[in-house]
Amino acid sequence: AQKVTQAQTEISVVEKEDVTLDCVYETRDTTYYLFWYKQPPSGELVFLIRRNSFDEQNEISGRYSWNFQKSTSSFNFTITASQVVDSAVYFCALSEANFGNEKLTFGTGTRLTIIP
């Protein structure tokens, strides 16, 4: 069975600080996808990034960066120079790749609060 663990329940940082959200996953599949979603107070899930299990190259997109390490089954997310608008709940998710039901297994989320 697949599982995603986000050990950090809540994080608060002062604006402009960097912050890293941790994600550890478990799966028996060799082919899978990892995701990060943002859920602002409005409730809608906003897709941020997807990585497949064969691509361990780290990625940077503006102030966001992701560190994927298969050796430790981790997919961490860093926000550089945080802003108040980054305040939200962030979810890490996993999908085992199969041609059919690509259901997502989510972690319990990390509530990030950026203090102005």
Interface residues with another protein (CB under 8 A)?
4, 33, 42-45, 47, 50, 52, 91, 93, 95, 97, 100-109
Nearer to another protein by C-beta: 4 or 19? 4
Residue 44 burial (C-beta neighbours within 10 Å; 0-12, 13-18, 19+): exposed
Q: Which is nearer to another protein, 31 or 83 (CB)?
A: 31
Distance in angstroms (rounded) separating the CA atoms of residues 103 and 9: 23
Return the bridge partners of 68, or none: 75
* Helix, strand, or coil (residue 27): coil
Q: Whole-number minimum distance, CB 24 to another protein, in Å?
A: 14
Nearest distance, CB of residue 68 and another protein, angstroms: 15
d(CA 27, CA 34): 11
Pairing status of strand 59-61 against strand 64-69: antiparallel
Judged by CB, which is closer to another protein: 88, or 107?
107
CB of 15 vs another protein, minimal distance in Å: 25
Nearer to another protein, 43 or 62 (CB): 43
